Amino acid sequence: MLKTSSKKIYVKTYGCQMNVYDSNRIKNLFEPKGYTETASVEEADIVVLNTCHIREKAAEKVYSDIGRIAKKRNKNNSSKLTLVVAGCVAQAEGEEIKNRAPLVDFVVGPQSYHTLPAMIEDNDKFINDEFLQNEKFKNLLFKSSDKVSEFVSVQEGCDKFCSFCVVPYTRGSEFSRPVQDIQSEIQQYIDSGVQEVILLGQNVNAYHGKNKNDKSIDLAYLINTIAEFENIKRIRYMTSHPRDMDESLIDAHASNPKLMPFLHLPIQSGSDHILKKMNRKHTKKQYFKIVEKLKNKRPDIALSSDFIVGFPGETDEDFDLTMQLVKEIEFVIAYSFMFSPRPGTPAFKLKDIDTSIKKARLSALQSLLKEQQRNYNKSFVGKNIEVLFDRKGRHANQYIGRSIYNQSVFTSSKDNLIGTIQDVPIIHSTNFALEAML
């Protein structure tokens, strides 16, 4: 039975920004029940592990964390602690979690976690892994925010079925929230001072929500609608798929000054042969075409990507094509991973390549990406750039924000800069950040 006295909830988030968003919603769901957040497992009455299944390492980490929590539970004799596994491991492994980790009390998937308070209260059901996107969003709670920048989930799920990826199975099919629901969530954040929204979706540019006239609209329309909020100064979106990068969205980068000139557009590999085996449904040439159109509309746009190295069948020549593409596109940042065979995906059955080869390729790619990022950051020294400051740094009077190109920028000031947009001169750069002098 959930008591309404002061109780504590601890939520640990693994994986992507969508999970960060979901973790915030889970905390919000328990607030009316009298729960406040704690950063310590020892203090918690409910522990929620909001998990990620994307690579083997991420999924296995959950089980070692469960083991550690279980030990604490025995040591403190705190059998009252309720242990919940949520997120993509919950969806993918479901009932099996009970066998591997009998101490887990409840399992909820990413599209059914709104039922968690009732599941704990009624205590008659171990698992809810249904795909209830519509019902979920209707039952979530959106509280005010103490941040300058907030994530807003606008799209969920994926219909692309890349051969390596678990997301279509863990998050379900593509679903878009209606415009009015998104607007009212953003209005709450504006009321508490939020100035930037980052629109989230596994394939955010596949957004096709309904407007108030029940007409299906695309991401560009949604962005333009959100830009009408005077207090929203900046809009970003992630993650996009090249196949859904349509003309209206490319145009929005030129016509909407609130849309930031930064785009995370994963390509995964520079080899058509591998792209085909990955079932990406686009070629390198098509990707270049999108980049060309974007740069025609917004020449300064900064591009980012994800890469998988060591996909089954990737030869040295395929990998060289990836390295070549990174240089040609001049990505300013990118995330790269060794292929991890995931059960249930088509690529799981393919012959995995040697780990030492994967490691060597990852290291070469990451050095190149780091060098490009360093050079990109260096090119701003001596110039001014517009920054939205959103938090305090570790040092006294230090403030940190994001440039329009999504770089981290720090500076010192006696005035409180949080929530201000400043055009700041850059005096120094590192691989990962810029330093400004006010």
- Report the nearest approach of ligand F3S to the CB of residue 23 (Å): 10
> If binding is defined by CB under 6 A, does position 167 make contact with ligand SF4?
yes
Distance CA 10, CA 82 (A): 10
Residue 371, H or E segment: helix 355-378
- End-to-end CA, the chain: 55
CB atoms < 10 A from the CB of 32, how many? 11
Choose among ligand SAM, ligand F3S, ligand SF4, none what residue 18 binds, the Cβ cut-off being 5 to 8 Å by kind: ligand F3S
Binding residues for ligand SAM restricted to 36-65, rule: CB under 6 A: 54-55
Of 143, 224, 146, which Cα lies nearest the Cα of 185?
143
- Report the nearest approach of ligand SAM to the CB of residue 113 (Å): 18
Interface segment toward ligand SAM; rule CB under 6 A; list 82-90, 163-171, 212-220, 293-301: 163-171
- Report the nearest approach of ligand SAM to the CB of residue 119 (Å): 26
Per-residue interface string for the shown chain with ligand SF4, residues 226-265, x marking contact by CB under 6 A: ---------------x------------------------
Distance CA 1, CA 120 (A): 7
Per-residue interface string for the shown chain with ligand SAM, residues 230-249, x marking contact by CB under 6 A: ---------x-x--------
Choose among ligand SF4, ligand F3S, ligand SAM, none what residue 90 binds, the Cβ cut-off being 5 to 8 Å by kind: none
- Report the nearest approach of ligand F3S to the CB of residue 180 (Å): 25
- The C-alpha angle with vertex 301 and arms to 295 and 305, in degrees rounded to 5, equals 100
Distance CA 88, CA 67 (A): 19
Choose among ligand SF4, ligand F3S, ligand SAM, none what residue 161 binds, the Cβ cut-off being 5 to 8 Å by kind: ligand SF4
Residue 277, H or E segment: helix 272-277
Tokens read off for 300: 């300064």
Number of residues that bind ligand SF4 (CB under 6 A): 10
Tokens read off for 373: 């990022």
> If binding is defined by CB under 6 A, does position 97 make contact with ligand SAM?
no
Q: Are 7 and 35 in contact (CB under 8 A)?
A: yes
398 DSSP assignment: E
When binding is defined by CB under 6 A, the residue of 306, 320, 352, 435 that contacts ligand SAM is 306
CA dihedral for 210, 155, 11, 167, sign (positive or negative): positive
Interface segment toward ligand SF4; rule CB under 6 A; list 10-18, 161-169, 179-187, 416-424: 161-169
- Report the nearest approach of ligand SAM to the CB of residue 327 (Å): 19
Choose among ligand SF4, ligand SAM, ligand F3S, none what residue 87 binds, the Cβ cut-off being 5 to 8 Å by kind: ligand F3S
Tell me the residue ranges of DSSP E strands in 14-136: 35-37, 46-51, 82-86, 106-108, 127-128
> If binding is defined by CB under 6 A, does position 171 make contact with ligand SAM?
no
Q: Are 202 and 156 in contact (CB under 8 A)?
A: yes
- Residue 346 or residue 419: which is nearer to ligand SF4 going by CB? 346
Of 347, 355, 433, 356, which Cα lies nearest the Cα of 394?
433
Distance CA 44, CA 35 (A): 10
Contact footprint for ligand SAM (CB under 6 A): 16, 54-55, 164-165, 167, 202-203, 239, 241, 266, 268, 306, 308, 337, 339-340, 342
Contact footprint for ligand SF4 (CB under 6 A): 158, 160-162, 165, 167-168, 202-203, 241
